[in-house]
Amino acid sequence: MRQIIFDLDETIYKKKELRIKREQAILEFLGERKEEYNKLKENHGTIESLRLLNIKREKFFDLMNKVPILLEKDLKLIDLMEKLKSKYKIIILSNSSSYCLYQTLEKLGILNLVDKYYSGEDFKNPKPAKECFFMVKKGDICVGNNFKKDLQIPKQLGAITVLLGDFKNEADFNIHDIYELKELLDII
């Protein structure tokens, strides 16, 4: 059975308020170092920027676990995942903590529809490290909102890549949001 491997944040769901609250928690923790962090973020992701400030991923996970996940059941997403589940094995791959990943899937109402999920705690290094994509096989479908972090390695491994929101030519396909995926898969 083919697999669909999804990124979580800003892919499975989009909730700007949650992203803002997470960023506020990081900035509050950093205090006077927030300007240095913001400068690093211009060229690096959150986890890498914190690492460059000598802040371990475990501290990042701890900060994120304290931010309430104010998401609600998404009936449209549940319907989509139920349809996909009949044809594909569904995998979620996120740099989030195990706790945040589990809570997010549960609140959205899709935890029981996911075959397997991997958090940032399952790997030595965060995405885009090649080790994070060990499950990707040629012909699988990978869906994410950041080509470099979510899709570049899967594409090299022969996966079909679907980029959400950022319309660039790097991915095999582009869609505006996760709900367009069903129609796209009907033509692939």
Full set of structural domains in the chain with CATH: 3-13+71-187 (3.40.50.1000), 16-65 (no CATH)
Q: Is residue 4 a contact partner of residue 84, using CB atoms and an 8 Å limit? A: yes
Residue 167 has pLDDT above 90, yes or no: no
Q: Is 166 a residue whose pLDDT tops 70? A: no
Mean pLDDT of the chain: 94
**The predicted structure's pLDDT at residue 126:** 92
Note the pLDDT tens digit of each residue in 18-72.
999 999 999 999 999 999 999 999 999 899 999 999 999 999 999 999 999 999 9
> Of all residues in the chain, what percent carry a pLDDT higher than 90?
91
Q: How far is CA 78 from CA 8, 51, 109, 170, in A?
A: 14, 36, 7, 29
pLDDT reported for residue 172: 95
